[in-house]
Chain A
Amino acid sequence: MIDVDMHHSFGDASISAQFKSDGGVTALFGRSGAGKTTVINAIAGLLRPDQARIVVKDRVLVDTAQGVFVPPHQRRIGYVFQDARLFPHLTVRKNLLYGARFSERRVPMDPVVELLDLKPLLERGTEALSGGERQRVAIGRALLSAPDMLLMDEPLAALDQGRKHEILPYLMRLRDEAAVPIVYVSHAISEVAQLANTLVVLDNGAIAATGPIDQLLSDPDLVPHLGVRDAGSIVTGRVVAHHADGLTELQTSGGALFLPHRTEPLGAVLRVRIEAQDVILSLNRPTGFSALNVLKGEISAIRDGAGPGVIVQIDLGDERVLARVTKRSALNLQLEIRQNVYAMVKTVAVGRSDIGAVGNT
């Protein structure tokens, strides 16, 4: 669906990127300055890459070898900018409808307005909107131009923490309901883990890894590229009980996982992100311990980090989690491959939910 192969240099920096994606949400992840925006600007046509072949939905948008360069306004690629870029001389409604007059296809306005809760904003000017409202309008405006694909350049980066949590549910609904493939640029792994199914990791102007997100996030060799602090894997679990004391129980391949109360019905499949630094390892099933979540598995990889830490990968059967422990603890416990261990998890973050669906690993 998306096939990108590009090389571009500017000043003394350069970027080379090759990746494919079958749709859904593809996250372009990397630190600031890794070249993420350059890549999506090339996809949108806002940048003319030195060498590239970019294909979206079987349409060749750029092929420098053949001299093909489709101008941005003919690409049908929606772009949600980090700074929203709403037109200040138009009302919210006119901003939303701006793209419709140039498009042959029509996207009905009402469902988009409803999806993003824009109704109360329609007749307002753009000046008084909050950051979160501006982003919602920008997303709606891009959707209503009937794009083949949406590009989102860190749409949450300019928002404070509270606003981020306000927008994320809209992005999840967009992903689940709008059926438009999305390329999502971010340097926040928690956002990416909640939204994306394909991950492209950019580091130092090149692709460090690309593939299904749960595989990459549990790969200990990728930890240096993602950042040790951000290391963490995704585990899927099925809701099996809502307990009277306010906890929701998930069944995962490594055992039961307890979360603060969730509204999802029994049988729903949730994706849970477990940060490597929140995992404590034990050789015996721990007792007399406050952490509720104990997952049983087998050590499948151990990687020394640059600092005092070690990344340990634990195979739970179908899935893997990462644990970050100190070298000293690893030595004391005499951790080795194929050893059985218990991973104790204090806190978890819940990401995308696929109600009633079988996990999509």
Chain B
Amino acid sequence: MDWLGPEEWQAVALSLKVAFWATVLSLPLGIWIAYLLARKEFWGRQALNVLVHLPLVLPPVVTGYILLLAFGRTGLFGVWLDALGVQLAFRWTGAVLAAAIMAFPLMVRAIRLSIEAVDNGLEEAGATLGASRLQVFVTITLPLMAPGILAGTVLAFAKAMGEFGATITFVANIPGQTQTVPSAIYAFLQVPGGEASAVRLVLISTALAVAALIVSEILAQRLARKARR
């Protein structure tokens, strides 16, 4: 791939790495939260729902600044993490956190829809056949919601690839460290003669986003077909 310069390559590789970890690390939590929201009645359920969806409607720069306040070296949790030798702000790990939080609502929504499509009666049937709650979840609920989990994962990955506002506020725009594809595009547009690089990255971004949308749409249709039967 000669047509990408080293700096552009760096941005693509970093974006892939950040999006991968953001998705993988948030998936178990996403399934758990989606299950709670879909199936359980508990105090504070609505508050949790709002909290999960907040990054979707908040200006990304606000989310990024809140992250900075919380996880910066002198922040609320940052002090503790610093004592443990972990630093998130201005590091690629911080980009992972920002991307995960921004992608989380999309992931939870898709998974939650798929849980709601699973007939509770099938889980009851599993219980009468001797399966414990966990066994029912693993052998019945999880396989039946698999298309939703996949759709949520793909959407979250695409969102994580494209996250810009929260990322640049929280971890800045350091080439090779925190400069993801969107940050790189922004940087190239700020310097004369950077348009060509920017356009190449724009093409890559667009292709990835379109592919993700198509895949998640196909999975959602499959899920809807299953729910109708």
Q: Within 8 Å of chain A (Cβ to Cβ): is B132?
A: yes
Q: Within 8 Å of chain B (Cβ to Cβ): is A250?
A: no
Pairs A–B under 8 Å by Cβ, sample size 25: A44-B128, A46-B124, A46-B127, A71-B132, A72-B124, A72-B127, A73-B126, A73-B128, A73-B131, A76-B130, A78-B128, A79-B128, A83-B121, A85-B119, A85-B121, A85-B125, A87-B122, A88-B229, A89-B140, A89-B144, A98-B126, A99-B129, A102-B135, A127-B229, A142-B129
Contact surface of A with B, Cβ cutoff 8 Å: 44-46, 71-79, 81, 83, 85, 87-89, 98-99, 102-103, 127, 141-142, 145
Q: Which residues of B contact A79 (CB under 8 A)?
A: 124-125, 128
Task: Tell me if A98 and B129 are in contact (CB < 8 A).
Answer: yes
Which of A73, A103, A142 contacts B132 (CB under 8 A)? A73
Contact surface of B with A, Cβ cutoff 8 Å: 119, 121-122, 124-133, 135-136, 139-140, 143-144, 226, 229
| Least CB separation from A46: chain B residue | B124
**Bound Cα distance A85, B136 (Å):** 14
Q: Which residues of A contact B119 (CB under 8 A)?
A: 85
**Bound Cα distance A167, B32 (Å):** 42
| Least CB separation from A141: chain B residue | B129
Task: Tell me if A87 and B140 are in contact (CB < 8 A).
Answer: yes
Task: Tell me if B121 and A145 are in contact (CB < 8 A).
Answer: no
| Least CB separation from B142: chain A residue | A89
Residue from B126, B127, B133, B229 having most chain A Cβ neighbours under 10 A: B127
**Bound Cα distance A202, B79 (Å):** 67
Task: Tell me if B122 and A85 are in contact (CB < 8 A).
Answer: yes
Residue from B122, B125, B133 having most chain A Cβ neighbours under 10 A: B125
Task: Tell me if B121 and A73 are in contact (CB < 8 A).
Answer: no
**Bound Cα distance A21, B140 (Å):** 34
Query: What distance in Å separates the Cβ of B222 from its nearest Cβ neighbour in chain A?
Result: 12
Task: Tell me if A73 and B140 are in contact (CB < 8 A).
Answer: no
**Bound Cα distance A70, B125 (Å):** 16
Residue from B122, B129, B131, B143 having most chain A Cβ neighbours under 10 A: B129
Q: Which residues of A contact B124 (CB under 8 A)?
A: 46, 72, 79, 85
Query: What distance in Å separates the Cβ of B23 from its nearest Cβ neighbour in chain A?
Result: 24
Q: Which residues of A contact B131 (CB under 8 A)?
A: 73, 98-99, 102
Query: What distance in Å separates the Cβ of A357 from its nearest Cβ neighbour in chain B?
Result: 33
Query: What distance in Å separates the Cβ of A94 from its nearest Cβ neighbour in chain B?
Result: 10
> Apart from A45-B127, A46-B127, A87-B140, what 17 extra A-B contacts exist at CB < 8 Å?
A71-B127, A73-B126, A73-B131, A73-B133, A74-B130, A79-B124, A83-B121, A88-B122, A89-B143, A89-B144, A98-B126, A102-B130, A102-B131, A102-B132, A142-B129, A145-B129, A145-B130
| Least CB separation from B128: chain A residue | A79
Q: Which residues of A contact B140 (CB under 8 A)?
A: 87, 89
